[in-house]
Amino acid sequence: MRFAIRGYVAVFVATLAAQAAAQDMSKIINTPHNLATLDVWGVVIPQNRVCLPCHTPHNARSVENGEFQVIWNHAITDQTFEMYTTMAGNQGGQPEGSSKLCLSCHDGATAIDDFGGNDEFFTNVVIDEDRPSNLGTDLRDDHPIGIEYPPPDLTGYNDKSSFTAVKVVSVNGLDRVECASCHTVHDNTLGMFLRQTMEESALCLECHDK
């Protein structure tokens, strides 16, 4: 009897260790981008497959016009967005590429649990309107995206060769500022999935020479 209990405890401890090892391996698993970790959404992910709401190895969804990108598994936003206009009169077009992927949850209209293989648990839950992470469809109150870098004919922007953490995203052959310029969707080490610290506004100063 005692042996049996000890055996059970040993197996239990080994299981815990295996789980801890799996979590150590993953940057994303204990972040808000593991949709199952946030009890508020009630999202169920089979086997805690953290990648599944966004990626699938097979039968991915076309992101735009039959084109595929990062083997995407989530529903794509069908909203029309209002875009910020800068003082120089520059304005991004409708979100494209990876920014469109972010807005396929952060628009507050597309269900976060609308992903391939989730028919059984689908409850059509969107990011609540009162949460700051719900950007909505009016992006006129957000830092511009879909905008060229460096902006043509403007001074006050650092050469991209000096970037240490932020990045330009190439869309239609142009270097642009997109959500992924400032954010890194899988890594929450700095908080807010940021690429660079906000200490002394370091993130901003990588681009803006102010």
By the 8 A CB rule, do 43 and 53 touch?
yes
The Cα–Cα gap between 186 and 183 comes to 9
Give me the residues that bind ligand HEC (CB under 6 A), please: 26, 28, 32-33, 35, 38, 50-51, 53-55, 70, 74, 86-88, 90, 98-99, 101-106, 112, 127, 131-133, 135, 143-145, 147, 149, 151, 154, 166, 177, 179-183, 185-186, 188, 191-194, 198, 201, 203-204, 206-208
Q: Least CB distance from residue 129 to ligand HEC, whole Å?
A: 11
Q: Toward ligand HEC, which CB reaches closer, 6 or 131?
A: 131
> Judged by CB, which is closer to ligand HEC: 5, or 87?
87
Q: Which is nearer to ligand HEC, 145 or 171 (CB)?
A: 145
State the Cα torsion 83-85-90-93 to the nearest 10°: 10
What span, in angstroms and rounded, lies between the C-alpha atoms of 50 and 32? Answer: 11
Q: How far is the CB of 7 from ligand HEC (least distance, A)?
A: 33
Query: What's the rounded Cα separation, in Å, for the pair 169 and 149?
Result: 9
Nearer to ligand HEC, 104 or 171 (CB): 104
Shortest distance (Å) from residue 14 CB to ligand HEC: 23
Question: Residues 175, 165: contact at Cβ < 8 Å?
Answer: no
Supply the minimum distance, in Å, between the C-beta of residue 117 and ligand HEC: 13
Q: Which residues contact 29 (CB under 8 A, 6 or more apart)?
A: 22, 23, 37, 48, 50
- Residue 95 beta carbon to ligand HEC: minimum distance, rounded to whole angstroms: 6
DSSP H stretches of helix in the chain: 2-25, 97-106, 179-182, 202-207
